[in-house]
Amino acid sequence: MPVHVLPRDGKQKNTVPTHLTVIPIPLICINTDFTGKAVKGNVSWKGPLVSLPEDNFVIKVVIEGKDDSPSTSINVILFGHLAKDFYSAAKIADVVVASGFTVGKSPTAHKDKLHPYNLLLKGDNAFIYAPRPAKIVKYTYTKIADLKAGTVVNVYGVVVFFKPPYQSRGTDICSSVNIIDQSNRKVCCTIFCAKITAHPQILRVGDIIRMHRLKAQSFNGTLNLISTAGFSVVTFDGAVDRPIEPRTSCRSFVFDEDDRLTVEELRSWAATNSVLPPTQMVVLSEVQPNTFFDLTCQLLAKATVDSNCVMLRVWDGTRCPHKMLNVVPDPNSTDGPTSFPDQQKDFILNIFVYDNHVQQAEQLKPGDFLRVYNIHASLGSDKEPGVRVDTGGEGCHLTLALHGGTSYGKGIQVIPETSPDLMDMKRIMNNIVDDIKDSPSDSDMLDVWVTPPESPDCLLQFCIGRMCTHRLQSVSLAEVKQSDPGGRHHVRVQLKSYEPQLLYQSLKLHCSECLTLQEVPDDDAVARIFEEALGDSRLSSPAWLIPIPISSTHRSKMAYVFRQVATNVRSNGGLLLRGCTLEEACQLTTLVTNVVPVRESEGRIALLDLTAPFLFRGKRRFYGCKHCSNAQLVVPQWQGVHTINEELVAKAFGIQMLKYVLLFKLELQDATGTLDALLWRDAETFFSVSADDAATNQEAQDNIRQTMDFLCPQEGSKAERPWLEVCLATYQPDDSQNQTCYQICDTTVHRPA
DNA sequence: GCTTAGGGTTGG
């Protein structure tokens, strides 16, 4: 094969075979023998592979030398299998070396302003040295029985014991995991990483784990494994029938067919060889006194008891048969509701969390799904520190405690809401909530008039909560109105009404430079701009498409007709589009990633008026600020760029890009009155929807609609208005000295999966 | 750059 491949990553990166002498591209001329000579440069443009009759191929590329003089870029035409191999082996920006070429007159020199001659690579003497594609890293895994002290290894195993991550006495977070594999040996692994996200995401004993770069060392006569620099980990559900979904925070990791097989083998080996210890997982209805157990549950509220103890109020949808302490937490130190509907009370248990676990417990939010490991269920003591206890006249109660320390894997983990492990529990919880809704008791009705009721919806189906970290007591809206601007308040409110009712009107464009908000231009306005740009050009010439090359200086002057260029353009990044309607442009966006609409102005190509999007990327449209842009169509300089995105385009053309934002005015109410608050800066957090998505994506729009319908049920709906815990910021806008404005911040609406 | 932990409870 005439395409010789050089390693991309090794020291030979720029090696030219010793028998060749590299000559500068400007020295290329005709009537000269270039035997033993080579040309070196990077690929700045690569045309499509053109298939010819009789299994022949041709490809045209541009190679750019290092100097800046205009004649350093030269067209290179490759024929036959050389063309085919080069097409798949080399990409833009690769450094290549060509030899054995002949020199011809470049027929396109007057148009493309490149080198007056071109290089023709054809026949057995022609060579082009291209780099080998990035080496695919293949990891090897050591069986546990084969571990040797002092070696750094990669391992696979089944988790038989683990400690969820906890703060060590040093600088890192520590987690422990013990694994076994088919070699039937167990090994203890200790992982130190500063970031919690780099730790294994183990959800239960039996999970499959893969770890890279662990060092085997001897301690007390036994080998163990400890994380080293570059440690990485992926975990998988251990159940045979579940899909193999890697749990990792690592953005790029290798997972191939062999890995899939390894996971499957470990799963079935563990399933058939009873290698796992009996589960400690128990539901609340099965809790026995004087035992230790693991619990999967949802956090409803939490209350600080003292500096060494936090009480978690949880449920798992089952009823605990034992008599519990009736704890009345102090509302001032409670996060989440302090009272619950009578029918739900039976399901709620309190877990006292001590010492080193307090810090972690404080990070938890009502609504979180948790796994609490090694809870101690004990009978007895009526005395809990710092909380008022109603013993109901009897002495023996069940107390649940997560004691200090990490022995037996004691700890708390938040379980991803989408985890399949939660499905059954969530279904049971939903049934309970539905039952409660269907049979409101008199006492609940009474409660409505005394204190705002805790809607079960609010706790389970839509858990609304503040995400801010500051701790403030809830205040009334009347108190907020009396306060000085510039502060933050937590309020407990209902949503009385909101604007705009038509959701698409809430979508605006914001300029981060001049800070103005603008309406999103409607299609009619944009279509008119396209029509104006069309002018008479349509009658005289076809719609021209001008590919935006990724890495070339002079290519944009080349024009192609649609069909010829569509595939080429897709691989090159984008195109400039002239002479078509908005509708046609939209059709084209399904074929080409980046479409920049342009017009002809005094014989030159220019950008459209900025009322129209300056860029179409699929369904997404990007607009520029008319005040802050200095828009000019120039030949973009994108050396070495592999993907063109909106930022690159905006920067190249001097456009100050506008960002989509959502803007609502919410009328909040509580017993003391109403207050208008803006939902804007943190609207994306509030809805868990990006404004970009809301601009293009029906699902995102539906999400917003559903959230609004829930918070503020439509006329005729039986649903009650839920109470919300909201964080409000008060401020004085720059342009008005006397007016105080309110904005909702750091508040989110959690919705069910 | 080095250390952290090194499973195995019974309590507030």
Nearest nucleotide from residue A172 CA, by C1' atom: B4
Which residue in A552, A539, A339 sits closest to A456, CA to CA?
A: A339
Q: Is the pLDDT of residue A102 over 80?
A: yes
Distance A444 CA to B3 C1' (A): 56
Q: Which residue is nearest to nucleotide B4 (CA to C1')?
A: A170
The pLDDT of residue A67: 64
Top pLDDT among A3 and A17 is at A17
Nearest nucleotide from residue A160 CA, by C1' atom: B7
User: H or E stretch including A571?
Assistant: helix A562-572
A670 pLDDT tier (thresholds 50, 70, 90) = confident
Nearest nucleotide from residue A406 CA, by C1' atom: B7
The pLDDT of residue A59: 92
The pLDDT of residue A487: 85
Strand B contact nucleotides, protein CB < 7 Å = 1-12
Which residue in A693, A694, A680, A700 sits closest to A745, CA to CA?
A: A680
Q: How far is CA A679 from CA A380, A471, A512, A659, A709, in A?
A: 50, 21, 18, 16, 16
Distance A420 CA to B4 C1' (A): 34
Q: Which residue is nearest to nucleotide B6 (CA to C1')?
A: A219
List all residues 6 or more positions away from A427 whose beta carbon is below 8 Å from its beta carbon.
none
Could you tell me if A117 and A105 are in contact, meaning their C-beta atoms sit under 8 angstroms apart?
yes
Distance A168 CA to B7 C1' (A): 15
Tokens of A640: 């070495």
- What is the full DSSP assignment across A429-476? HHHHHHHHHHS--HHHHHHHHHS----HHHHTTSEEEE---S---EE-
A566 pLDDT tier (thresholds 50, 70, 90) = very low
The pLDDT of residue A739: 82
Q: Is the pLDDT of residue A255 over 90?
A: no
How far apart are the C-alpha atoms of A724 and A721, rounded to whole Å? 9
pTM confidence score: 0.49
3 state SS of A92: coil
How far apart are the C-alpha atoms of A738 and A21, rounded to whole Å? 78
A584-598: average pLDDT: 79
Nearest nucleotide from residue A380 CA, by C1' atom: B11
A516-528: average pLDDT: 90
Could you tell me if A113 and A67 are in contact, meaning their C-beta atoms sit under 8 angstroms apart?
no
A451-461: average pLDDT: 32
The pLDDT of residue A463: 37
* Protein side of the strand B interface (CB < 7 A): A 160-161, 163, 168-172, 174, 176, 178, 188, 190, 192, 217, 219, 224, 226, 277, 290, 292, 308-309, 352, 354-355, 374, 376, 378, 381, 383-385, 401, 403-410
Q: What angle do CA A438, A444, A449 make, to 5 degrees?
A: 130
Which has the minimum average pLDDT: A65-79, A183-197, A386-400? Answer: A386-400
Which has the minimum average pLDDT: A234-238, A426-430, A546-550, A559-563? Answer: A559-563
The pLDDT of residue A723: 80
Dihedral over alpha carbons A549, A555, A557, A559 (to 10 degrees): -70
Highest mean pLDDT, choosing among A449-458, A495-504, A558-567: A495-504
How far apart are the C-alpha atoms of A73 and A45, rounded to whole Å? 10
A682-695: average pLDDT: 91
How far apart are the C-alpha atoms of A193 and A196, rounded to whole Å? 7
Distance A198 CA to B4 C1' (A): 16
What average pLDDT does the structure give for chain A? 82
A595 pLDDT tier (thresholds 50, 70, 90) = confident
How far apart are the C-alpha atoms of A125 and A102, rounded to whole Å? 10
Nearest nucleotide from residue A385 CA, by C1' atom: B12
Percent composition of chain A: helix, strand, coil (DSSP 3-state, to 5): 25, 35, 40
Could you tell me if A298 and A266 are in contact, meaning their C-beta atoms sit under 8 angstroms apart?
no
Backbone φ, ψ for residue A529 (5° rounding): -60, -40
Distance A386 CA to B5 C1' (A): 34
The pLDDT of residue A94: 83
Top pLDDT among A70 and A327 is at A327
Could you tell me if A488 and A468 are in contact, meaning their C-beta atoms sit under 8 angstroms apart?
yes
Distance A676 CA to B5 C1' (A): 54
Distance A492 CA to B11 C1' (A): 37
Q: Which residue is nearest to nucleotide B9 (CA to C1')?
A: A407
A6-24: average pLDDT: 62
- A372-431 tens-digit pLDDT: 999 999 987 545 444 444 444 445 789 999 999 999 999 999 999 888 889 889 989 988
- A607-631 tens-digit pLDDT: 889 999 999 988 899 999 999 999 8
Provide the sign of the torsion angle of the four alpha carbons A409, A414, A419, A424, taken in this order.
positive
Tokens of A566: 């569509």
CA A221, distance to chain mean position in Å, is: 44
A593-611: average pLDDT: 81
A345 pLDDT tier (thresholds 50, 70, 90) = confident
Distance A658 CA to B11 C1' (A): 59
The pLDDT of residue A280: 93
Q: Which residue is nearest to nucleotide B8 (CA to C1')?
A: A408
- What is the full DSSP assignment across A664-723? EEEEEEETTEEEEEEE-TTHHHHHT--HHHHHH-HHHHHHHHHHHHHHSPPTT--PPPPP
Distance A364 CA to B3 C1' (A): 29
Q: What angle do CA A102, A107, A110 make, to 5 degrees?
A: 125
10 Å CB burial of residue A588 (0-12, 13-18, 19+) is: buried
Backbone φ, ψ for residue A527 (5° rounding): -60, -35
Q: How far is CA A219 from CA A170, A173, A188, in A?
A: 19, 21, 11
Distance A353 CA to B12 C1' (A): 10
3 state SS of A32: coil
- A483-517 tens-digit pLDDT: 888 888 888 888 999 999 888 889 999 999 888 88
A546 pLDDT tier (thresholds 50, 70, 90) = low
Distance A618 CA to B5 C1' (A): 52
A570-590: average pLDDT: 71
The pLDDT of residue A597: 85
Tokens of A270: 């563990």
- A510-520 tens-digit pLDDT: 999 888 888 99
